[in-house]
Amino acid sequence: MKRIGVLTSGGDTPGMNCAIRSVFKTGVAMGLQVMGIYHGYKGLIEGRVDYLTHEDVENKMHKGGTILRTARSEDFKTEAGIKKAISVIKAYGIEGLVVIGGDGSFRGSMELVKRGIPTIGIPGTIDNDMGYTDFTIGFDTAVNNVTNEIYKIRDTMRAHDRVGVIEVMGRNCGDIALWAGIGGAADLIIVPEVPISWEDAANRLEQNKLRGKLTSIVMIAEGAGKAEDFVKYVREHTDVEIKATVLGYIQRGGNPSAFDRVLAARLGERAVELLVEGKAGRAVGIRHNTIYDVPLDEAIEIKDEFDSKLYELNEMMAKF
């Protein structure tokens, strides 16, 4: 193998640049040329390919976003799009590909693997919704970002004896809400994995008020509903004073945490090693602090398990 390519796909995450750097440095150390594919699968179809250089990856470790840009490509879901992508890969003499992204991006990788392109997936999504790996790149940073915001919101809620409801990202996964909720001492965490009715949740806030706890923080994962809807319900059914905040994209930007940088460096190295070892169609991940790999199709299939113990821990602490 002489030349490999790397792309980022789907939602960007802090730490993607560290993974790109690791792929580049490992590739160079193993005597490979490394090409950057810009704008994900969309860019691959359009032939946006160029050599990566030391200057490209230099001084980018600490930057959020992705130097390769990213995209969600509809064209790549069509046979014609995939064919075009493969012809670009062949035209550039790319013999192996590293894809950094979430489960949608891994599904795209499978299409390439099926058509004979050796491809390795690196998990990059703030959602942490990939069951085969304990952590995805970007999750830790997003949790840190959210936790920092919780304390700002708590300050002003406390000043007014209000309840603050904070909606966070995560698609159908409650991990950001759960981890940031614990880090930010939330009084109630509403996630898709543990359904709770608006009525029960509102009762909890009323009970808090009755026992003299006037300020509460409620975390709500976007997959469990909208902060505004819950706030409206509480206003209509209780006399609790309540305000909603939707954190939005500030969760996904900013400097990657040290944890995400190290994780990205480790995963990037292993991805390139696998390509050189001739092991195509695999996803790298981390289990019990050990980097390992599984077939890409398994990585997509393994269901993400919600950490109920962590959820129960917060429930217990919220009671007292």
Nearer to ligand F6P, 9 or 26 (CB): 9
Q: Determine, following the binding rule CB under 6 A, whether residue 171 of this chain makes contact with ligand F6P.
A: yes
Position among 126, 157, 177, 189 found at the interface with ligand F6P (CB under 6 A): 126
Q: Determine, following the binding rule CB under 6 A, whether residue 175 of this chain makes contact with ligand F6P.
A: no
Residue 213: left if φ>0, alpha if ψ -120 to 50, beta else—which one? beta
Q: Please give the Cα distance from 124 to 110 (Å, whole number).
A: 16
Q: Please give the Cα distance from 273 to 270 (Å, whole number).
A: 5
Cα dihedral 11, 12, 14, 16 sign: positive
Q: Give the interface segment with ligand F6P, choosing from 45-53, 165-173, 260-268, 293-301 (CB under 6 A).
A: 165-173
The packing angle between helices 103-114 and 79-91, to 10°, is 70
Q: Which x/- pattern over 244-263 shows residues binding ligand F6P (rule: CB under 6 A)?
A: --------x-----------
Strands 242-246 and 163-168, bridge-based pairing: parallel
- Strand residues in the chain grouped as ranges (E): 3-8, 33-37, 49-51, 96-101, 119-123, 163-168, 188-190, 216-221, 242-246, 282-287, 290-295
Nearer to ligand F6P, 125 or 208 (CB): 125
**b/e map 254-286, b = 16+ CB within 10 Å:** bbbbebbbebbbbbbbbbbbbbeeeebbbbbbb
Min. distance of Cβ 158 from ligand F6P in angstroms?
Answer: 28
Position among 22, 73, 109, 125 found at the interface with ligand F6P (CB under 6 A): 125
Q: How far apart are the first and last CA of the chain?
A: 60
Q: Determine, following the binding rule CB under 6 A, whether residue 11 of this chain makes contact with ligand F6P.
A: yes
Question: Cα 140 from chain centroid?
Answer: 9
Q: Which x/- pattern over 177-216 shows residues binding ligand F6P (rule: CB under 6 A)?
A: ----------------------------------------
Q: Determine, following the binding rule CB under 6 A, whether residue 243 of this chain makes contact with ligand F6P.
A: no
Task: Residue 188: name the closest of 41, 70, 304, 319 by CA.
Answer: 319
Q: Give the interface segment with ligand F6P, choosing from 89-97, 122-130, 180-188, 265-273 (CB under 6 A).
A: 122-130
Nearer to ligand F6P, 52 or 68 (CB): 68
Min. distance of Cβ 249 from ligand F6P in angstroms?
Answer: 7
Position among 5, 36, 123, 170 found at the interface with ligand F6P (CB under 6 A): 170
Active site residue 127: yes
Q: Give the interface segment with ligand F6P, choosing from 153-161, 169-177, 290-298, 308-316 (CB under 6 A).
A: 169-177
Q: Which of 50, 56, 103, 127 is catalytic?
A: 127
Q: Please give the Cα distance from 294 to 300 (Å, whole number).
A: 10
Q: Give the interface segment with ligand F6P, choosing from 22-30, 125-133, 158-166, 303-311 (CB under 6 A).
A: 125-133
Q: What positions carry a catalytic annotation?
A: 127
User: Could you list the residues that contact ligand F6P (CB under 6 A)?
Assistant: 11, 102, 125-127, 169-171, 222, 252
